[in-house]
Amino acid sequence: MTEQRLCALDDIADGGSDRFEATVDGQPQWVMAIRRGQSVHTYLNECPHIGSPLDFRPGEFLNEDRTHIMCSTHEALFRIEDGHCIDGPCEGDGLTPVEAEVRDGEVYVAVVSGEPVT
C-alpha cells in the first residue's frame, strides 16, 4: 500500500474533526479526519447525495453533540465509525472511506480510496 502522512494525531482535537489535503487516486482531495482517542476515521469530504463538501466551516464536520458527521448542505447524518448515512436524503448510502493508520503519533492515509459505504 502506498501511503502519505496526513497530519500529527495531536493536530486533531480528541472528539473533534479537521480537514486535510491529500493525494487520493492520483488527485488532490480534501479528506476529513475525525478523532476518537487514539483512532482516526477518514473519508473524502464529499456528500454522496450531491458531491458537495460536508464541512460547515473548514474542518468542522460534526453535529452539535459530536456524535455524528453532518452534511452542511442537507444536514444528513453519518456514523463516524463507518460513514454510513442514517438520516437525510442519502440515507442508506455512505461516505467514501480513505484508509488510515496511526503510527508513532502520526496519521497516514492510503493514496487510493475505498468504495463508498452502503
In a domain, 71, yes or no: yes
pLDDT tens digits, one per residue of 2-61 = 899 999 999 999 999 999 999 888 889 999 999 999 999 999 999 998 889 999 999 999
CA 28 to the chain's CA centroid: 15
In a domain, 116, yes or no: no
Domain containing 25 equals 3-110
In a domain, 117, yes or no: no
In a domain, 115, yes or no: no
CATH assignment at residue 36:
2.102.10.10
Rounded to the nearest 5°, which phi and psi values hold at 11? -70, -15
Q: How many domains does the chain have?
A: 1
> Which pLDDT value is given to residue 21?
94
Per-residue cell: 105: 503519533
In a domain, 86, yes or no: yes
In a domain, 118, yes or no: no
